[in-house]
Amino acid sequence: HVNGNVVAAWDEGNANGNNGLQLQAEEYDLMAATGDIDEIKEVNANCILMANLQQASTSTLGIQIGRAPIYDSDGSSE
């Protein structure tokens, strides 16, 4: 069974103004029994999702460098 909690906490950020998401597992006793595998995968997926969302929210403040292709009505790019 899974014992413990996954804790996600925002840190205070660094000199560049980037906020960080700290993920830590507390008091985990992971037993690889068949019934626990799905729950462990779900916890891992949630941690990855939270980290990706946090990264997306702080990277370049939403400013994209470069230019996306412009498509004509026939679907070809210019």
Residue 65 belongs to a domain = no
* pLDDT tens, residue by residue, 2-18: 455 555 554 555 555 55
Contact 8, 22 (CB under 8 A): yes
pLDDT of 66 over the 50 cut: yes
What CA–CA distance (Å, rounded) separates 53 from 10? Answer: 13
Q: Which domain holds residue 50?
A: 5-59
Span 14-65, pLDDT tens digits: 555 555 555 555 544 555 454 566 676 777 777 777 777 766 665 545 455 5
Q: Is residue 67 part of a domain?
A: no
Name residue 25's beta-bridge partners.
Answer: 6
39 located within any domain = yes
pTM above 0.85, yes or no: no
Q: Is residue 76 part of a domain?
A: no
Q: Output the pLDDT for position 46.
A: 74
Instruction: Tell me if 23 is assigned to some domain.
Output: yes
With cut-offs at 50, 70 and 90, classify the pLDDT of residue 1: very low
The half-sphere exposure of 77 on its side-chain side, counting CA atoms within 13 A, is 4
77 located within any domain: no
Q: Which of 20, 11, 40 is nearest to 28 (CA)?
A: 40
At 78, the pLDDT band (50, 70, 90 cuts) reads low
Determine, yes or no, domain membership for 64: no
Phi-psi region of 33 (alpha: psi -120 to 50; beta: other; left: phi over 0): beta
Count of domains forming the chain: 1
